[in-house]
């Protein structure tokens, strides 16, 4: 029979101390509890991490209990308050997303604020990320009494503060992530290898949610820059996907050099789909989601993004909303991006149509239900 060996008392004490700490903290580490992460990890070296549910694959279900707030939320931009602007139908507000093989929890404002107590969450990107920020603020603000919340501004950033929770929900404008500046002769220069001018606002944030795609897809006529610059080299033209990859690689290097995965969580939201010229039909007067795609399409920008994330050592969580949102041709502002009176509604087709942003309440609320579940 094997001889009994007394355990090392120092090891026993260390083990019990660590066990007690984890038990009373209620989790194995501050953010990276992989057992609870219902997210899609795209780094190839982490493919063996547990994946309990892929939220990105499922179907839209009509649910009369939605929306979770109304268009009178005071933090909404006029351009997304479709009901206030005269849109006659409201069915687009009543769809929830049902992932295959699991359920997506309904957004719980108090639970979300509890998870984010004494923390900062910042959404970084373009006007569609601003769309999502307004959604998130409206989802939580109803449970906070008047006088216990406020909005502050700092350069390209704005923050909603839930004062009792010491929580801030922030948005930082950086549609290309990398820097865009004016050069000689007032020409606009996109610096593919510079980011600090934007990134200085991201430091010290507990949860960073990024997106950057739409501005990279603008054609020459609508482009926001005249030249690309990398190092000291200036380029008039460049393959858009190569430029996007270079810009994302600069972002990835900044993340790995400046953030600590034990203190900061990083999420990258995929491209929000548009239902306009590229798809051959408009979003105006659409009242129901698409039921099926004849030719499902993954945008090049999503392919490039996944490639960059795979090469990163820092654990970045992919928030994939592209395909699920592509079903929702019915949920854009279209002509109701502005207030239309009764007479104007009779000639609505004479007005420009926004098939890129989303009515609120609407689809970004579901993105935020997914975001809350990921946290």
Ordered alpha helix ranges (H), the chain: 9-25, 109-115, 127-141, 196-199, 240-258, 300-310, 322-326, 342-345, 363-374
pLDDT at 282: 75
The CATH number of the structural domain formed by 58-374 is 3.40.50.1110
pLDDT at 252: 98
CA angle 191, 193, 197 (to 5 degrees): 70
pLDDT at 296: 65
Assign residue 162 a region: left if phi > 0, alpha if psi is -120 to 50, beta otherwise?
A: beta
Per-residue pLDDT tens digits of the chain, which is 375 residues long: 444 444 444 444 444 444 443 333 343 333 333 333 333 444 434 444 345 688 999 999 999 999 999 999 999 999 999 999 999 999 999 999 999 988 999 999 999 999 999 999 999 999 999 999 999 999 999 999 999 999 999 999 999 999 999 999 999 999 999 999 988 788 999 999 999 999 999 999 999 999 999 899 876 667 888 899 999 999 999 999 999 999 999 999 999 999 999 999 999 999 998 877 544 357 888 999 998 876 667 889 999 999 999 999 999 999 999 999 999 999 999 999 988 877 777 777 777 889 999 999 999 999 999 999 999
CA angle 160, 166, 170 (to 5 degrees): 30
Q: What is the pTM of this model?
A: 0.84
Structure tokens at 181: 């500046």
Indicate which residue of 317, 330, 357, 365 is catalytic. 357
Burial degree of 352 (CB within 10 A; 0-12, 13-18, 19+): exposed
Residue 164 annotated in active site: no
pLDDT at 23: 36
Q: Where are the domains of the chain?
A: 58-374
pLDDT at 66: 97
pLDDT at 345: 74
Residue 275 annotated in active site: no
pLDDT at 190: 95
DSSP symbol at 65: T
Q: How far apart are CA 148 and CA 18, in angstroms?
A: 38
Residue 126 annotated in active site: no
Indicate which residue of 126, 206, 354, 365 is catalytic. 354
pLDDT at 33: 36
Indicate which residue of 30, 90, 127, 223 is catalytic. 127
What contacts 184, CB < 8 A, 6 or more positions away? none
């Amino acid at each position: 029979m094997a001889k009994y060996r007394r355990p090392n008392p120092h090891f026993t004490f260390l083990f019990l101390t660590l066990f007690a700490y984890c038990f009373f903290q209620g989790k194995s580490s501050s953010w990276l509890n992989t057992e609870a992460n219902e997210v899609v990890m795209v780094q190839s070296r982490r493919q063996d991490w547990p994946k309990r549910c892929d939220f990105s694959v499922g179907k839209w279900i009509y649910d009369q209990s939605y929306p979770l707030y109304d268009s009178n939320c005071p933090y909404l931009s006029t351009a997304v308050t479709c009901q206030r602007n005269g849109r006659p139908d409201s069915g687009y507000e009543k769809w929830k997303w049902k992932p295959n093989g699991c359920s997506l929890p309904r957004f719980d404002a108090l639970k979300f604020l509890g998870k984010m107590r004494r923390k900062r969450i910042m959404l970084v990107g373009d006007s569609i990320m601003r769309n999502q920020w307004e959604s998130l603020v409206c989802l939580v603000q109803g449970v906070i009494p008047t006088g216990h919340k406020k909005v502050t501004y700092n350069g390209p950033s704005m923050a909603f503060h839930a004062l009792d929770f010491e929580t801030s929900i922030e948005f930082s404008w950086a549609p290309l992530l990398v820097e865009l500046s004016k050069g000689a002769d007032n020409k606009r220069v996109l610096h593919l290898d510079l980011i600090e001018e934007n990134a200085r606002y991201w430091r010290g944030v507990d949860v960073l949610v990024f997106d950057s795609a739409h501005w990279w897809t603008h054609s020459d006529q609508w482009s926001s820059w005249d030249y690309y610059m990398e190092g000291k080299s200036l380029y008039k033209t460049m393959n858009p996907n190569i430029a996007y990859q270079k810009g994302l690689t600069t972002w990835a290097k900044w993340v790995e050099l400046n953030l600590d995965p034990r203190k900061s969580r990083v999420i990258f939201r995929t491209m929000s789909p548009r239902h306009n010229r590229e798809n051959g039909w408009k979003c105006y007067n659409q009242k129901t989601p698409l039921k099926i795609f004849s030719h499902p399409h993954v945008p090049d920008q999503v392919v490039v993004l996944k490639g960059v994330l795979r090469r990163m050592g820092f654990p970045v969580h992919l928030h994939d909303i592209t395909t699920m949102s592509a079903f929702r041709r019915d949920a854009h502002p279209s002509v109701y991006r502005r207030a239309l009176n009764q007479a104007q509604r009779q000639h609505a087709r004479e007005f420009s149509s926004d098939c890129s942003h989303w009515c609120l309440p609407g689809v970004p609320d579901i993105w935020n239900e997914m975001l809350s579940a990921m946290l």
